[in-house]
Amino acid sequence: MAPSAYLMGAVQMTSSADRARNLEVAVRLLEEAADLGARLVALPENFSYMGPEEGRIAGAEPLDGPTLGVLRELARRRGIFIVAGSISEKVDDPRRTANTSALIADDGQIVAAYRKIHLFDVNIPDGARYAESEGVVPGDKVVIAPTPLGRLGLTICYDLRFPELYRKLASLGAEVITIPAAFTLFTGKDHWEVLVRARAIENLAYVIAPAQVGRHSANRQTFGNAMIVDPWGVVLARCPDGEGVCVAPFRRDRLERSRLELPALKHRKL
């Protein structure tokens, strides 16, 4: 029986090419969220590395590698569920990786892994160019994980712009959806909150949206504003600027009341 209420946490980081430092910060913020009572905590996209592409590919790991190993031990020790934002997962092609979000249970087991479907190939008007598909293999599976905390749907960053993925998760029974992100400053200031709240509202689900923030390199700056949003689209918690964590409650009665008062999910016509 899923609990009627528990605390969720969203982590905000400024990851760099320093893997050891990134992991140290991630662990510290996960511990902080656990100290606050959170039972489900999510890290941002690329939490373990944001640096030159050659270093990203060279440092790719399997899911049973050392980075997730540290988080699995922490999850087991603190008795929390961790959404490991995303890591560069080693694949058969040595020139590419998957961009993978793993859900770690409170016993330290990896219970789900989602490979990012929508890859960020965009020329931003501020002059930055992103070509994620040159170094990343796209995923092809929608992932929902039944857990003791409820049904969790996994997505990553640029997925946020594709509502059909979230509607599919809702149709599979998602109650909480995670969107670990490294949203650019240029697009984030206008689109991030609008889209996060929209995905919560249209699918009547809680959304945990951990985020990268600040300057990562000379040409990479992210928007931050990690947040937790309820099924009515209300922002329950938001990280201030800089690295940190915010927490907010999941309340099953709030979820059920929202879906009862506005039964839009039952009114879909395809």
Q: Which residues are catalytic?
A: 45, 116, 157
Question: Among residues 237, 223, 226, 145, which one has the least CA distance to residue 191?
Answer: 223
CA distance 95 to 146: 34
Q: What tokens appear for 181 in the block?
A: 């992100």
Q: What tokens appear for 234 in the block?
A: 């209300």
CA distance 47 to 61: 14
CA distance 270 to 194: 25
Going 11 to 211 to 98 to 88, the CA torsion angle's sign is negative
Q: What tokens appear for 131 in the block?
A: 């070509």
Q: Please list the residues that pair with 247 across neighbouring strands.
A: 9
Task: Please spell the DSSP secondary structure of 196-261, one letter per residue.
Answer: HHHHHHHHT-EEEE-EEEEEEETTEEEE---EEE-TTS-EEEE--SSSEEEEEEEEHHHHHHHHHH
What residues contact 209, with CB distance under 8 A and at least 6 apart?
10, 178, 179, 180, 181, 196, 226, 227, 228, 229
Read off the amino acid at residue 180: P
